[in-house]
Amino acid sequence: MLAGSAFVVSAQSNAPSSPAPGQAPAANPPATATPGPQAPVQAKVAMCIGCHGIPGYQATFPEVHKVPMIAGQNAKYIAASLAAYAKGDRKHPTMRGIALPLGDKDIAEISEYYAGLAPVEPVPATVEAPADVKKLLDKGACASCHGANFSKPIDGTYPKIAGQHADYLYVALKSYQIQGKPYHGRSNAVMAGQVKQFTHAELKTLAQYLASLPSELRTVPQSRFR
């Protein structure tokens, strides 16, 4: 779900300075601008920003793929994912190193911060899939857990997957087929049971369709150095 970076930023105040006498005040930032995290959350998400705050940033393990968009993701899912990396149910050396030092409060604050970056307008409830893709979706019963248009999971610990990067989804789906490797793979009985019935080509087709859907997920560009 997540990928990290070894960069840490220091917290600074974002309070604007007062204009000099006779000087016009600075123009307000655009309404679409997203403020950066405030201290102390800023320090906690610094590692996340190093990868997840860079549009199009790519990881190289276990193969080259874009890191997932986590802004707008369910808070409970982010928290569950971090816990799974720390426990080893999700095997990823970088993410395990990032997740292990985090306490429950850290995880809760990081998760709530990213969940709070969801767009205001929800995505459409239904998007018709092509017949060949619908057959695969029905075979995997994907909507039964991930919900309407794959953006309304039935449980907060399940992810929104509509609009997520196709290459990330493909790598994530394949990882549930991997068992017994020390540094690669994901342990989840439900997902393992579902993906084992698909070929890699079919998983790629599913990933490409899901990535094409309207999404509540996004990457919020932020600097690691403030």
- Contact by Cβ (8 Å): 148, 126: yes
> Looking at the domain assignment, is residue 136 inside a domain?
yes
Averaged pLDDT, 128-139: 96
Q: Rounded to the nearest 5°, which phi and psi values hold at 91?
A: -95, 115
Domain count, the chain: 1
Copy the structure tokens of residue 93: 């050396």
Structural domain boundaries, residue 164: 41-211
pLDDT at 7 over 50: no
> Looking at the domain assignment, is residue 169 inside a domain?
yes
User: What is the overall mean pLDDT for the chain?
Assistant: 86
User: In this prediction, what percent of the chain has a pLDDT beyond 70?
Assistant: 81
What is the SS3 assignment for 150? helix
Name the binding residues: 48, 51-52, 95, 142, 145-146, 191
> Looking at the domain assignment, is residue 55 inside a domain?
yes
> Looking at the domain assignment, is residue 152 inside a domain?
yes
- Say what the pLDDT of residue 15 is: 41
Residues 187-197: tens digit of each pLDDT: 999 999 999 99
pLDDT at 18 over 80: no
> Looking at the domain assignment, is residue 184 inside a domain?
yes
Question: In the structure, what pLDDT confidence band is assigned to residue 47 with cuts at 50, 70 and 90?
Answer: very high
- Say what the pLDDT of residue 224 is: 64
Q: Which residues contact 87 (CB under 8 A, 6 or more apart)?
A: none
How far apart (Å, rounded) are the C-alpha atoms in residues 77 and 63?
23
> Looking at the domain assignment, is residue 222 inside a domain?
no
How far apart (Å, rounded) are the C-alpha atoms in residues 99 and 97?
6
pTM for the predicted model, two decimal places: 0.81
HSE-up of residue 156 (Cα within 13 Å, Cβ side): 10
Q: Which residues contact 95 (CB under 8 A, 6 or more apart)?
A: 1, 2, 3, 4, 82, 85
pLDDT at 9 over 60: no
Averaged pLDDT, 51-57: 96
Alpha helices in 31-74 (DSSP H): 41-52
> Looking at the domain assignment, is residue 8 inside a domain?
no
- Say what the pLDDT of residue 128 is: 87
Q: Which residues contact 158 (CB under 8 A, 6 or more apart)?
A: 74, 77, 145, 146, 147
Q: Which residues contact 104 (CB under 8 A, 6 or more apart)?
A: none
28/186: higher pLDDT:
186
In terms of Cα–Cα distance, which of 132, 91, 129, 95 is closest to 3?
A: 95
Name the binding residues for heme c: 48, 51-52, 95, 142, 145-146, 191
Residues 96-108: tens digit of each pLDDT: 999 999 999 999 9
Averaged pLDDT, 136-161: 96
> Looking at the domain assignment, is residue 146 inside a domain?
yes
Averaged pLDDT, 32-59: 83
